[in-house]
A and B are shown apart, each in its own frame.
Chain A
Amino acid sequence: MTKKIKLSELGSLFGSLDIEALEGVKIEGDVELDLGQMGLNPQMAYALGHETVQLAFHLMNISRILGYPVDQLPGAAVQQKPARLSNLIESKFSVARNEEWKTPIQEVVLGATSSDGGSRKSTVTIGGENALPYYFDSPMPHRNHITMDVFDMPINMAKAVKSNYEDVINSPAEWAKKVVRDFGADMVTIHLISTDPNIKDTSPKDAAKTVEEVLQAVDVPIVIGGSGNPEKDPAVLEKAAEVAEGERCLIASASLNLDYARIAEAAKKYNHVVLSWTQLEINAQKELNRKLMKQCGVARENIIMDPTTAALGYGLDYAYTNMERIRLAGLTGDTELNFPMSSGTTNAWGAREAWMISSPLKEDSDWGPREYRGPIWEIVTGLTLSLAGNDLFMMMSPTAVQVLKEITQTLYGLKETEQVNIDNWVSAVV
């Protein structure tokens, strides 16, 4: 049973057998293995280190081939329970940068200062990416920005949001001031919803006055939104663009189901940026962008896309993947899709989980207090889209704005904080 071999003899011993697995095994020194008693003892192998362990395995296999009843050997335990190694196998991790992302996203400036023919104190630049957001392949040139909603008339709002705006709900100018001063909005969106013929049918001229008031109230760049009525919006936005001449506002929006050419024309004439809005359909987005550029002559640096935001639980899967596909298409060379993106993140409040007092279903676990559900619904909706490549967020809840800023700016690399040691998180008392 006891057969001693020296490692130096292995070569000749195995010489007659065709064992590929032995190739490349380096044997240093001369070690005596005792097949019968200790040769396959895991402790022994452990002490000898990694290469010898491999050798021991092969040796055992060879022994079996040679007819030794290895499975009954004391060392056969090795088979079920491979030996321990004494040292970590040294290893270096590396991964390549993505070489397919060769086309940068268009950079777009919103707002114009006095030196550029406007009256804004600051401007906002978005776009310019060469990679998916926050990826190591290429740093994002500009952080995400947030524009907060202001309406030209009191509207229905979830309770958790409304409490922030009760004092300004009748004055768009005061409302705009408040979101910039108190809630850290980078920009303000004035929604001219009262112009809808089904609401108040405010005239384009009167609506434009509201735009002027907002421009005077704040010095950040603004977004001008219509009511969403496809018949009325072109006239409303045209007039608004006129009174805001030179301010490089974002005009929201041109879409395929209205007279986009008229909106594009107004944006060109009065120096604004066009929001190209489509509904969750990448090919429609391509088509509209192409029409804006080729047919209407809108310059590339004046286009931002809104591919539609659906709320968490209500189609966010489509919105997310649509945006991710658009961004990837842009980065890999589709010059009809490589524009910055904007999200109507406020849509998150459409989800009943955001506003309903409790679940209508008795089988559900308790939904808890709704005042905490709403803002996080808006945050998660926005955050998910930020990871897909969205640049600009149209938002409503001050809490949501604050948290979304914190996480997007952290991933962007702006947040310096003290180091946290997570090595013992397992035993942390939380």
Chain B
Amino acid sequence: MKLNSPLQVYKYLPQINCAECGDATCMAFAAHLIDRSKKLENCPPILKDEFKKKYIELQTLLAPEIRQVTIGIGENAKNIGGDDVIYRHQLTFFNPTAFAYDVWDTMPEQELVERVNKISNFRKFYVGKFLKVDMVAVRCVSGDPLKFAGAVKKVAETTKLPLVLCSFDPAALRAALEIVKDRRPLLYAATENNWGDVAELAQSYKVPVVLFSPDLDKLKSIGATFQEMGIKDLVLDPGTYPQGKQLKESFERFVKLRRAGIKEGQKDIAFPIMSVPLNAWLVYKDAVTASYWETVLASVFIVRYADVMILHSLEPYAMLPEVHLRDTIYTDPRTPVKVAPGVNQVGTPTKDSPVIVTTNFALTYYTVESDLSSNKINCYLASVDTDGIGVEAAVAGGQLTAAKINDTFAKANFDLKEKTSHGTLILPGLAARLQGDVEDATGLRVMIGPPDSGRIPGWMEKNWPPKQK
């Protein structure tokens, strides 16, 4: 965006501090616009006619450097692009890379339907939510527009996910568009050979379109031409070569495009970028090798700037790391990742099982949890609300206290005297100095565990069950 301080934004706001936006002052709201945690539309007064001019000006000034493009409709629609920074720590990345998995028009119908269902049903639980994949890319392999349209029809009937229509033949694209013109699919692709016809399709069906050329001069030329024709919802595919020097050059093109778009403000190429890790399958035929290499390509381009990608392998060992890496890169670094506070079971605890305390910092919590579960230690694990801060810092900063620990058990209705035979709490080694306080606050026996949860198994052997008092 073109503004970088709340004061600059404030000048355009109504300046009446009516608090309708949920902030006490227009200045506070301005700060939220700068960090993109609120939208201009959250301020009702500015939407009124008298502020129309300022609203429009501000809207332009606040627009992200990389154009945001919407694919699909309704609740399954996906936004891609919309970024303002080239490193995630500078703010955060917006709109996680959309994953489109392919199907093709020469598949037997039943296989096609199964594959589409597999794509739309994929889910992986992670930190309180499900990681999923986003789109179905239908490839025209047959060369027959009718056949292609038939496959697109079947896919559209089977899933509500957004579609990517892939063919270099404008006739095939047109046939498919006729079927799904109401679903706002992404067209793939305009090239230096077919751009005139594809442009016409993008215009008349009002759909976003990918421009494909590994030659950045040509890519920019096609982009300039489309924009001149009034087509603004563009996605750039600078080519994802699967190996060798060509792959190195592909990587460089992604970096160059994004740098030009954000750092140099080159508006005419500031569009979302597409990568095609599927190209791994052009060089590797063995499914495991190809899936591995596809995951490798996907990883490289999730980190460096792909906003949408086309993938083939539905193997869990490919999809799981892909969805996790995307989450890694797109998690907002400004908010510490937290888990819900409470008392959770690990394995199948009994009355004799230990009760272990940790923080609600997701990293700490999941580390402790996996240390326990991987060692088959059945127990209760309490996550104390420390605002997502780790044990050591939370003890020092006062977010982990005896009162907070007591509170966690009280809120969870977890009475140790009733639920356990031992009435004992185990504190993390790094919280040893809270021992006396916690004993006083809870009236329980308090033991001090090891400073690293990796050592809990060894510690348990020596210290558990606790000796009778």
Contact = CB atoms under 8 A, between A and B. Distances in A.
B35 to A, nearest CB: 17
A403 B87 CA distance: 26
Nearest to B261: A95
A91 interface: yes
Interface string A78-107: 000111111011111111101000000000
B141 A427 contact: yes
Interface string A374-412: 011101100110010000000000000001001100111
A317 B334 CA distance: 12
Interface stretch (B19-27, B315-323, B441-449): B315-323
B261 to A, nearest CB: 9
Interface stretch (B42-50, B153-161, B297-305, B406-414): B297-305
A249 B220 CA distance: 50
A62 to B, nearest CB: 19
Contacts of B299: 379-380, 383-384
A350 B453 CA distance: 12
B292 to A, nearest CB: 6
A220 B48 CA distance: 73
A325 B268 CA distance: 29
A314 B363 contact: yes
Contacts of A366: 316
Interface residues of B, number: 101
Interface stretch (A17-25, A335-343, A356-364): A356-364
A85 B246 CA distance: 32
Given A198-B455, A363-B123, A93 B89 contact: no
Interface string B52-89: 00000000000000000000000000000000000111
A224 to B, nearest CB: 21
Contacts of B223: 91
B433 to A, nearest CB: 16
B395 to A, nearest CB: 15
Interface stretch (A4-12, A63-71, A174-182, A418-426): A418-426
A426 B167 contact: yes
> Among B123, B204, B243, B317, which residue has the most Cβ atoms of chain A within 10 A?
B317
Contacts of B125: 359, 361, 363-364
A12 to B, nearest CB: 28
A410 B67 CA distance: 31
A21 to B, nearest CB: 14
A427 B370 contact: no
B316 A367 contact: yes
Given A88-B221, A363-B123, A384-B299, A82 B329 contact: no
A237 interface: no
B367 A93 contact: no
Contact of A368 (B266, B281, B292, B316): B316
A167 to B, nearest CB: 24
B225 A89 contact: yes
B334 to A, nearest CB: 11
Contacts of A424: 168
Contacts of B130: 363
Contact of B243 (A83, A356, A415): A415
A422 B239 contact: yes
A151 interface: no
Contacts of A360: 373
Contact of A88 (B141, B168, B192): B192
Contacts of A350: 367, 370
B229 A83 contact: yes
Contacts of A324: 87-89
Contacts of A92: 217, 220
B370 A314 contact: yes
A260 interface: no
Contact of B121 (A94, A136, A365, A403): A365
B200 to A, nearest CB: 6
A290 interface: no
A286 to B, nearest CB: 16
B288 interface: yes
B386 interface: no
B248 A411 contact: yes
Interface in B290-347: 290, 292-293, 295-296, 299-300, 303-304, 312, 315-321, 324-325, 327-329, 331, 333, 337
Interface residues of A, number: 81
B251 A411 contact: yes
A91 B221 CA distance: 5
A347 B372 CA distance: 16
A74 interface: no
B466 interface: no
A419 B321 contact: no
B225 A81 contact: no
Interface stretch (B252-260, B352-360, B397-405, B419-427): B252-260
B222 interface: yes
Identify the interface centre among A364, A379, A380: most chain B CB within 10 Å of its CB: A380
A136 B166 CA distance: 31
A14 interface: no
Contacts of B219: 93
A268 interface: no
Interface in B248-289: 248, 251-252, 255-256, 259-260, 264, 266, 268-269, 276, 278-279, 281-283, 288
A161 B91 CA distance: 39
Contact of A430 (B196, B248, B278): B278
Contacts of A318: 363
Interface in A281-324: 310, 312-318, 320-321, 324
B244 interface: yes
B260 A95 contact: yes
A96 to B, nearest CB: 7
A387 B303 contact: yes
A373 B359 CA distance: 29
Contacts of B242: 420, 422
Contact of B321 (A93, A320, A376, A412): A376
B389 interface: no
Contacts of B203: 81-82
Contact of B188 (A315, A420, A426): A426
Given A310-B363, A320-B328, A429-B141, A91 B220 contact: yes
Contacts of B321: 312, 353, 376-377, 380
Query: Which one of B252, B293, B319, B325 has the highest number of Cβ atoms from chain A below 10 Å of its Cβ?
Result: B325
Contacts of A313: 126, 324, 327-328, 366
B12 interface: no
Interface of A: 50, 81-86, 88-96, 98, 134-136, 198, 310, 312-318, 320-321, 324-325, 328, 350-353, 355-356, 359-361, 363-369, 372-373, 375-377, 379-380, 383-384, 387, 403, 406-407, 410-413, 415-420, 422, 424-430
23 contacts: A84-B200, A89-B225, A91-B268, A92-B217, A93-B256, A136-B256, A313-B126, A317-B333, A318-B363, A324-B87, A324-B89, A364-B124, A365-B123, A376-B295, A376-B317, A377-B321, A379-B292, A384-B299, A403-B293, A407-B296, A417-B243, A422-B241, A427-B140
Given A419-B244, A426-B188, 8 more contacts: A82-B230, A88-B225, A93-B256, A352-B370, A365-B123, A384-B325, A411-B300, A416-B245
Interface of B: 87-89, 106, 121-126, 130, 139-141, 143, 166-168, 188-189, 192, 195-196, 199-200, 203-204, 214, 216-225, 228-230, 239-248, 251-252, 255-256, 259-260, 264, 266, 268-269, 276, 278-279, 281-283, 288, 290, 292-293, 295-296, 299-300, 303-304, 312, 315-321, 324-325, 327-329, 331, 333, 337, 363, 366-367, 370, 373-374, 455, 458
7 shortest interchain CB distances as A-B pairs: A368-B316, A417-B244, A430-B281, A372-B317, A93-B216, A315-B363, A91-B221
